[in-house]
Amino acid sequence: MSHEMPEEKLPEAHDASQGHEVAPHSDPFADPGLPAHEPRRTDIDERAAKRAERQVSLMFVVSMLATIGFIASYVIFPIDKIVFIFPIGHVSALNFALGLTLGVALFCIGAGAVHWARTLMSDHELPAERHPIEADDEVRNDVIEQFKTGAAESGFGRRKMIRNTLIGSMALVPLSGVVLLRDLGPLPEKKLDHTGWQKATPANPIPLINMNTNEPMKAEDIVIGSLTFAKPEGLEESDEDFQQNIAKDALMLVRIAPEDIKDKNSAELGFGGILAYSKICTHVGCPISLYEQQTHHALCPCHQSTFDLADGARVIFGPAGHPLPQLKITIDEKGFLVATGDFDEPVGPSFWERS
Ligand code: FES
């Protein structure tokens, strides 16, 4: 089918900025029109159409099953269960199951809709002339007519199996959000008041372990301006409850020239200018990872809370409610950094420990 546009004589253009006439340009390409419509197998073979209908419905049914699996995972898996998944490594079984089932549920709805459109809905291409943005009544009525025609051609009313399974999968998916409301409770009570460092005492200190090298850390190896992440000795990635513990125990270690440290209490909790702060933001608990050595500012990437590590990790910008908790550290007889107690305040978001 050829689609020809009426030839129009273009008015001569005038370039006001240059103050001279410019030559009119004409369209050098002829409109090739739309290619001839080729019927698909499902257009001419009723059995192929039925098969495509069953495939689409199967995807919607899988979506429904995945949503039920999402809800079942929520009930079945304990929140602290860690499993090894190749090649990801150690992950929370609950998070993995929720992500997988919700992903499958949404993917199958999308894939089913695409397959339906490609195999069963009308694939006749129609040219649509451009028109002013504000449509008049006639155009609006035309659009409504076209919508009704499209709905009729999609077979939404006629192909009951697809329609019913699509409605079922779309109705079930929102339930995934409803069950998440369970996360609103119960409150953690006293569980967040202490961390893995609480077993440290001056008589039985806990060594600091470099998170990158997994080695104990010597004070003399920490240079001024550096930022290092650390964890308590004995906490291993292969531990079942590693994720749960590192979310409270993670340390951010900086060394600041002692004369630059403004908060004297903070300097006393540290050793030789080495200060150990919680890596967990006091806003809603994101891990902090950005440090500007000239200003001694640490920035949380989630909502830009900024902490002055030279001034007791005071909040100087952003929504965080209080400073980062600090850990008391010193060195043992071999010069390795050790903690001698827990953080000076509970770590993480600050809205519940004020009771
Ligand atoms: S979690 Fe750090 S600023 Fe929001």
φ and ψ of 232, to 5 deg:
-75, 150
For the chain, 355 residues long, give each residue's pLDDT as a single digit of tens. 334 444 444 444 444 444 444 445 566 778 787 888 889 999 999 999 999 999 999 999 999 999 999 999 999 998 878 888 888 888 889 999 999 999 999 999 999 999 999 999 988 887 777 766 777 889 889 999 999 988 888 888 888 899 999 999 999 999 888 888 877 877 777 778 889 999 999 999 999 999 999 999 999 999 999 999 999 999 998 887 888 899 999 999 999 999 999 999 999 999 999 999 999 999 999 999 899 999 999 999 999 999 999 999 999 999 998 999 999 999 999 999 999 999 988 898 876 555 5
Tokens for 109, please give them: 């709805």
Establish whether residue 287 lines the binding site of ligand 1, counting it when its CB lies within 6 angstroms of any ligand atom.
no
Establish whether residue 318 lines the binding site of ligand 1, counting it when its CB lies within 6 angstroms of any ligand atom.
yes
What is the predicted pLDDT for the residue at 352? Answer: 58
At the topology level, CATH places domain 196-343 in: Rieske Iron-sulfur Protein (2.102.10)
Establish whether residue 225 lines the binding site of ligand 1, counting it when its CB lies within 6 angstroms of any ligand atom.
no
Establish whether residue 320 lines the binding site of ligand 1, counting it when its CB lies within 6 angstroms of any ligand atom.
yes
Q: How far is ligand 1, taken at its centre, from the CA of residue 320, in Å?
A: 6
Q: How far is ligand 1, taken at its centre, from the CA of residue 252, in Å?
A: 16
**In 258-303, which residue ranges form alpha helices assigned H by DSSP?**
264-269
Q: How far is ligand 1, taken at its centre, from the CA of residue 287, in Å?
A: 8
Establish whether residue 255 lines the binding site of ligand 1, counting it when its CB lies within 6 angstroms of any ligand atom.
no
What is the predicted pLDDT for the residue at 25? Answer: 54
Establish whether residue 305 lines the binding site of ligand 1, counting it when its CB lies within 6 angstroms of any ligand atom.
yes
What is the predicted pLDDT for the residue at 9? Answer: 43
Q: How far is ligand 1, taken at its centre, from the CA of residue 280, in Å?
A: 9
**CATH 2.102.10.10 domain extents, the chain:** 196-343
- Distance between CA atoms of residues 79 and 98, nearest Å: 11
Q: How far is ligand 1, taken at its centre, from the CA of residue 182, in Å?
A: 23
What is the predicted pLDDT for the residue at 190? Answer: 78
Count of helices and strands (H, E) across the chain: 7, 14
- Distance between CA atoms of residues 289 and 304, nearest Å: 11
Tokens for 16, please give them: 């006001």
Atom number of ligand 1 nearest to Cα 281: 2
Atom number of ligand 1 nearest to Cα 318: 3
Atom number of ligand 1 nearest to Cα 286: 1
Establish whether residue 155 lines the binding site of ligand 1, counting it when its CB lies within 6 angstroms of any ligand atom.
no
Establish whether residue 300 lines the binding site of ligand 1, counting it when its CB lies within 6 angstroms of any ligand atom.
yes
Q: How far is ligand 1, taken at its centre, from the CA of residue 288, in Å?
A: 8
- Distance between CA atoms of residues 155 and 158, nearest Å: 5
